Structure 1
Amino acid sequence: MGRISIRPPLEDYLVRLMLHDKVICSGIIVNRHQVLTAGVCKPAHNQESRVKILLFDNTTNTITHSTVSKNYTAKGASDLLILLHLGTELDERFSQKPPICRDRPPPHEDVEYWSLNKKGTILRKRITPQTSNLDCRRLIHDPDGVVIGNDTVCLKNSDLSERCLKNFGIPFVWRNTFCGVNILGHNCQIHGKNGYLCSPA
């Protein structure tokens, strides 16, 4: 009888990208070789070797290179997410891919918004409603949908902060599946709002 592989909890798929001991982005493990994150998190060519991937158990990994994510987004949004290729293969726990939603959440349903504190040590989760792409475009001054296209999902965020929190690459969850990756951070475009990219499988 073959050994049954148990999928880790969703939190274990979350990683932090560290540069000079500071969190610069987050991402999710999608297989033993790759991490999915926001395109804005792509390390500069001369920084790839200096960015560390910090896993849930505080072990680290390295990045060899990055590629556009074609299999985790709708075609029109493929340039908004990237795959970071890891220097060392992850262990058997990640043989099973994380649950990723095949369709975007219905607009009327709330989703679970994740965020990290400034040091990246505390993960917070809260239920939040979605908002329309039209409203999101208006709030971040993107009337032509250059950033917020038809394949994005925007969430309302009641958090207020005086500075930009670099929660780029952190996921949101719907029905216990990853359904999007934060591409706008928190308060980095406009006070008190966040935008997220829907990333169907």
Structure 2
Amino acid sequence: MKMSFRLLAFFVPIFVFAVASGKQPKEHYHRYMLSDYRPQHNPRTQMDYKRHKAPVYPIDETHHKNISDTMGPLIKLVESEETIALQHLLVRIYIHEKFHCMGVVISEMLILTASTCFINMSPEEYMVKTSDDILHAAVKSNTSYHFIRNQELLTVLRFREAVFFPQIVNGAFSVRMCAHILEENSRALLPTYIRWRHSVYTQRTVVLALEECRTRMHDPMGKVFTDTMFCVRNKKYTEHCQPTFGNPLVYEGEICGINIMGHNCPKIFGVDVYVNVYSPDSYITNRVEAIKKLNIESAIF
């Protein structure tokens, strides 16, 4: 309080002297200090305020097309007409209570994820958190699976106890995987699980040519980027590495790839790298069924 009086005693004589000498003081005074003006931007309190119409900006249709609902794309099931939202199949994998990467449930017993999550790590048990935030114990499966073409880059985990989803009527299930390798310019869905929102952001993307992928990855000779891998554009750029390891790529409701490098890891490439996941048995079965529907025998005889 004493300090305030001392400041007033110091500045008031200077102000009086400036006014008496006909010079303008250097201090700037706002209108609300000298009148009833109040800058609330409301005509009831500021009489000279005039409302202006808000500008109308064009709607970015491509932005809305790229974003799906928060549950992600629907995934088809084998030998069934049922589908299930991807969010129910995505799991978070923990080692020693620390989050490491994502994975996708491909049956009531199996989880598919990226081996790059577990470099120099071989724990006896993994803890897997499903979409309902329940932890389940899982172990690494040493069985070879026909849908994996690169055993070094993909890992299959096995639940210690079968996990069933109320969204699936039959209980036991297995998800559909691509019947063939995705070709250049194939249009697919790139889902990203946002942990703090517990939701899935999905954008449309395009598969790039193998040569372009290797050029972007600075690996023109294909020493690291082999023909079992492919890349897609990711328009959601981030400044830092986004650990999306283990997230799947979806094509026409089927799982076609698993992310093995995250997004912009270890630096910005502008593309996401996946390992091919496909089931040639499904392709052969689909082709046989298509041939049967043609009814060739009746046409010939």
Aligned to 1:126: 203
User: In the alignment, which of 137, 144, 155 is matched to residue 82 of structure 1?
Assistant: 155
Higher relative contact order (CA 8 A, sep 6+): 1
Give 1:114's aligned amino acid: P
Aligned length: 194
CA shift for structure 1 position 95:
1.3
Aligned to 2:277: 199
User: In the alignment, which of 167, 191, 211 is matched to residue 114 of structure 1?
Assistant: 191
User: In the alignment, which of 42, 58, 81 is matched to residue 133 of structure 2?
Assistant: 58
Is 1:182 the counterpart of 2:259 in the alignment? yes
CA shift for structure 1 position 67:
3.0
CA distance in 1, matches of 2:144, 2:201: 26
Q: In angstroms, what is the RMSD of aligned CA positions?
A: 2.4
Give 2:226's aligned amino acid: G
Q: Which has the higher helix share?
A: 2
CA distance in 1, matches of 2:136, 2:230: 30
Aligned to 1:147: 224
Aligned to 1:168: 245
CA distance in 1, matches of 2:182, 2:87: 20
Structure 1 stretch displaced more, 162-171 or 89-98: 89-98
Is 1:42 the counterpart of 2:118 in the alignment? yes
Maintained 8 Å contact 1:13/1:98: no
Maintained 8 Å contact 1:5/1:96: no
Is 1:28 the counterpart of 2:101 in the alignment? no
Deviation string for 1:24-43 (max 9, x for gaps)? 21111122221011111237
Maintained 8 Å contact 1:161/1:187: yes
Give 2:213's aligned amino acid: C
Deviation string for 1:109-152 (max 9, x for gaps)? 21100112354723110101121222222222233323321122
CA distance in 1, matches of 2:151, 2:191: 22
CA shift for structure 1 position 66:
3.8
Maintained 8 Å contact 1:23/1:120: no
CA shift for structure 1 position 177:
0.8
CA shift for structure 1 position 107:
1.6
CA shift in 2, pair 1:170/1:48, >3 Å: farther
Maintained 8 Å contact 1:7/1:96: no
CA distance in 2, matches of 1:58, 1:121: 10
CA distance in 1, matches of 2:231, 2:144: 20
Give 2:164's aligned amino acid: D
Identity among equivalent positions (%) equals 24
CA shift in 2, pair 1:91/1:152, >3 Å: same
TM-score (norm: length of structure 2): 0.58
Maintained 8 Å contact 2:110/2:156: yes
Maintained 8 Å contact 1:68/1:82: no
CA shift for structure 1 position 198:
1.5
Structure 1 stretch displaced more, 191-200 or 142-151: 142-151
Unaligned ranges ≥5, structure 2: 1-79, 280-301
Maintained 8 Å contact 2:241/2:267: no
